[in-house]
Chain A
Amino acid sequence: MCASAPRPSGASAVRSLYSSHPTWMHALPAWVKLAVLSVCGTLLVLVERPVHLSIACIVVLLLFASLGRTAWLRMRMLVGIAIGCALIVGFHWFLGTTWLGVASALRLASAAVLALMLTLTTRFEDLLAVLETVMRPLQRFGVPTERIALGIGLMLRFAENFYVQWQRLDDAYRARAGHGGGLRLLAPLTIRTLQTAERVADALAARLGR
């Protein structure tokens, strides 16, 4: 994150999801990938039947596998998604609506993997450029579109930063206490992120004026 303290080296590789190892998907223009993601995301919400959703999920996973080494390196993220899906199915099994749970889980898995592929293979600046182009017509109506695009960009960076800050606080706590901090870290985390936002605000005001 731009305004936070210097990152420990090595940490940035973990946190920035973009993979510099080129794949066939890196070569596609960002707007194509974003358009496909939007269409697929919308379709997934509309599809109800578990059979169709599992076909979608398999196709998405095959696509993911086609990324080769890049995909293999990010296997851990798939595990996270799988745990989330298992929780959903478990809850619905408990309520007696297992199939609804399976459908939700498949939808989650497909959408998450699709989004993961976009993040892995697209530079953030490219994504932002697409958004700015898409919104350009709104400028005529006095909408400050470049601010909106900047806002979305900042939002995504901040989201990443939450994780970084949490990790850092947890490491520090672990070093002192021998175990993770858990919910105790909520207060320092809140204050830290607000301070980060304050510094970013200063930096933005200095650069953009006003």
Chain B
Amino acid sequence: MRWPRGWADSSAAQNPTNTPSPNRVMTTTGSITSSRSLSYIALFAALMAVFGLIPKVDLPFGVPITLQSLGVMLAGCLLGSRRGFFAIALFLLAVALGLPLLPGGRGGLAVFVAPAGGFLFGWMFGAFACGLLMRRMAGATGKGLLAAAFFASVVGGIVVVYAFGIVGLSLIAHMSLTQAALAMLVFIPGDLIKCGICAMLVQTVMRGMPSWRLDRD
């Protein structure tokens, strides 16, 4: 990992060649309820919805395989912690209101008490953690950025999300925490692939849109 400590916080102030372009000024992190934030929050909530339209497969104990965890990682990495959190929250609100946006066309309040319900809450905090980590490492470039985004998505999208998911599963399906954790192992390889895809997409965005900021709070 090549980025120096504290790089993200000080780069703008200390690097005189890094003059803010007009674009940069426009993407300034403002209030969380600002209309500008709203557009990005809605975009990533929409991404979650699109991933939800892809058919799911149920494993026997009732936790579906889904692409939506990729959406969680992307929201955290690209939007920052608070906006990422609210993007997932907005999506979950739409689900709770009955829109069938979870894989398999599920929606309504019942999904929050289903065996996988813990994951839904975990998504919000997972995106938040991704954003926090990405912000710490926002100055990384090239392979360093790839590694940074991968690391952020592993911690946020796997560790945090699964912590919530495992607790939820053990509460609802009456399993011990160890049993629940073991049951989750099946998903880890798939999720690692998703972390890789997320890292590549973050790198792509930074190449194609240099004005995009990874250091949002």
A20 CB within 8 Å of chain B: no
Given contacts A111-B105, A115-B99, contact A100 B41 (CB under 8 A): no
> Binary interface profile of B, 49-77, with partner A (CB < 8 Å = 1, else 0)?
11000011110100000000000000000
**CA–CA, A210 to B100, complex, Å?**
32
Nearest CB in chain B: distance from A87 CB, A: 5
Partner of B109, one of A42, A114, A194: A42
Given contacts A45-B114, A190-B204, A197-B39, contact A97 B60 (CB under 8 A): yes
Nearest CB in chain B: distance from A156 CB, A: 7
Residues of A in contact with B, size category: 35 or more
**CA–CA, A187 to B202, complex, Å?**
10
Looking at the complex, which of B9-17, B90-98, B130-138, B164-172 is the stretch in contact with chain A?
A: B90-98
Contact A34 B34, beta carbon cutoff 8 Å: no
> Binary interface profile of A, 170-210, with partner B (CB < 8 Å = 1, else 0)?
00000000000000001110110111111011101101111
Max chain B CB contacts within 10 Å: which of A45, A92, A101, A162? A45
B38 CB within 8 Å of chain A: yes
**CA–CA, A38 to B55, complex, Å?**
21
Query: In the complex, how many residue pairs between chain A and chain B have their CB atoms under 8 Å apart?
Result: 164
Contact A194 B42, beta carbon cutoff 8 Å: no
**CA–CA, A95 to B65, complex, Å?**
14
Nearest CB in chain B: distance from A209 CB, A: 7
> Binary interface profile of B, 11-54, with partner A (CB < 8 Å = 1, else 0)?
00000000000000011001101111111111101110110000
Closest to A150 in B: B38
Partner of B208, one of A42, A83, A191: A191
**CA–CA, A112 to B57, complex, Å?**
16
Report whether over half of chain B's contact residues are helix, strand or loop; otherwise say mixed.
helix
A91 CB within 8 Å of chain B: yes
Contact B27 A42, beta carbon cutoff 8 Å: no
Contact B104 A108, beta carbon cutoff 8 Å: yes
A76 CB within 8 Å of chain B: no
**CA–CA, A196 to B49, complex, Å?**
17
Nearest CB in chain A: distance from B172 CB, A: 13
Contact A159 B201, beta carbon cutoff 8 Å: no
Residues of B in contact with A, size category: 35 or more
Contact A159 B50, beta carbon cutoff 8 Å: yes
Residues on the B chain within 8 Å of A159, using CB:
46, 49-50
Partner of A107, one of B31, B104, B208: B104
Given contacts A45-B108, A88-B58, A197-B40, contact A152 B26 (CB under 8 A): no
Partner of B55, one of A42, A87, A161: A87
Contact A158 B108, beta carbon cutoff 8 Å: no
Nearest CB in chain A: distance from B89 CB, A: 10
Max chain B CB contacts within 10 Å: which of A104, A108, A157, A201? A201
A84 CB within 8 Å of chain B: yes
**CA–CA, A104 to B105, complex, Å?**
10
Contact A38 B97, beta carbon cutoff 8 Å: yes
Contact B209 A191, beta carbon cutoff 8 Å: yes
B8 CB within 8 Å of chain A: no
Contact B58 A151, beta carbon cutoff 8 Å: no
Given contacts A46-B110, A97-B60, A112-B105, contact A205 B34 (CB under 8 A): yes
Chain A residues in the interface with B (C-beta under 8 A)? 34, 37-38, 41-42, 45-46, 83-84, 87-88, 91-92, 95, 97, 100-101, 104, 107-108, 111-112, 114-115, 131, 134, 144, 147-148, 150-152, 154-159, 161-163, 186-188, 190-191, 193-198, 200-202, 204-205, 207-210
Q: Can you name 5 A-B residue pairings with CB atoms under 8 Å?
A: A87-B55, A88-B104, A151-B38, A194-B212, A201-B38
